[in-house]
Structure 1
Amino acid sequence: MGIQSCVRIMNEWDIVAARQLGRNVAKELGFGTVDQARITTAISELARNIYLYAGQGQICIEKVYEGGKTGVRIVAVDSGPGIADIRQVMEDGFSTSGGLGAGLPGVKRLMDEFEINSAPGKGTDIKAIKWLR
């Protein structure tokens, strides 16, 4: 586990702050501009979900070093309404906000590892890692 920095998500400016934090950490670790963009896009998506569906939560970003690999881990946590059907929200094109539906499947594609835990009334906890190539 690396050093973790968190941003509380309560309004749209917090989404910007979380993106900026993620970009800085990715840059420090040596990620190229394309992967930096992937990481910040994933953070945007996760932070926006917290803002839209849970009202508040937090995005934590940390450097990870595992088995000779270096990466960045994004953890999105909220105590919102939770997700009743994770399989459904992981389908491409599924959207409850009328957005493009890139959502969680998009985040999963942008990152190398993706894990989601959620239950109705229990909030949502998402972890995603991008490894440095």
Structure 2
Amino acid sequence: MEAEIRVPIEREEDVVLARQKGRELAAETGFSNTDRTIIALAISEIARNIISYAHRGEVTMRRVDDGIRVGILIVAQDEGPGIADIDLAMRDGYSTAKSLGVGLPGTKRIMDEFELTSAVGKGTTVKMTRWLR
């Protein structure tokens, strides 16, 4: 199994560090500059959600290989309030933070695989993968 990179998320500086680590891992995996930027953007979105809603959590990243292709798996976890209505949260334009609301649906669009699980009062987990083309 590939080594896992773990970045605790509590402050804006942690978002920057997670983006940086994600870019480095993407470069090592062979992703183009464009894909590295997309991966960094996705990490930013989910890490900022941790700060905005749960106040603390963790982003983990690792290289994955399914035997046919290689990519990067990114998992963001928190023990925050959770998301009561995932379908609503995944709608374009929906936001409870008076932002543009592009975070979760936008992130889902730019990644190849995206899975969000959440339980009210227990927290949220986002798993997303970008495959090398």
Do Structure 1 and Structure 2 share a fold, with TM-score over 0.5?
Answer: yes
1:8-87 paired onto structure 2 within 5 Å:
8-87=8-87
In structure 2, how many angstroms separate the alpha carbons of the residues matched to 1:21 and 1:82? Answer: 26
CA RMSD of aligned residues (A): 0.8
Percent sequence identity is: 53
Give the drift of 1:58. Answer: 0.3
Give the Cα separation in 1 of the matches to 2:18 and 2:126.
15
Q: Which runs of 5+ in 2 are unaligned?
A: none
Match of 1:91 in 2: 91
Post-superposition offset of 1:27: 0.6
Q: Which residue of 1 aligns with 2:118?
A: 118
1:23 partner SS: helix
1:101 corresponds in structure 2 to 101
Instruction: Using the TM superposition, give the Cα deviation of residue 101 of structure 1 relative to its aligned residue in structure 2, in angstroms.
Output: 1.0
> Cα offset for 1:89?
0.5
- Which segments of 5 or more consecutive residues in structure 1 lack a partner in the other structure? none
Aligned length: 133
- Look up the equivalent residue of 1:17 and give its one-letter code: L
Provide the C-alpha distance between the structure 1 equivalents of 2:58 and 2:44, rounded to a whole number of angstroms: 12
Is 1:129 the counterpart of 2:133? The answer is no
Q: Distance in 1 between matches of 2:104 and 2:67?
A: 27
Matched-pair contact (CA < 8 Å) for 1:62–1:74: yes
- Provide runs of 4+ in structure 1 moved above 4 Å: none
Letter in 2 for 1:27: A
Distance in 2 between residues matched to 1:2 and 1:99, nearest whole Å: 36
Provide the secondary structure at the position in 2 that maps to 1:21: helix
Conserved? CA contact 1:6–1:58, under 8 Å? yes
- Residue 2 of structure 1: how far off its partner (Å): 2.4
- What SS is found at the alignment partner of 2:91? coil
1:71-111 Cα shifts (integer Å, max 9, x gaps): 00110000000000000000011111111211100110110
Contact map agreement 1:2 1:65 (CA 8 A) in 2: no
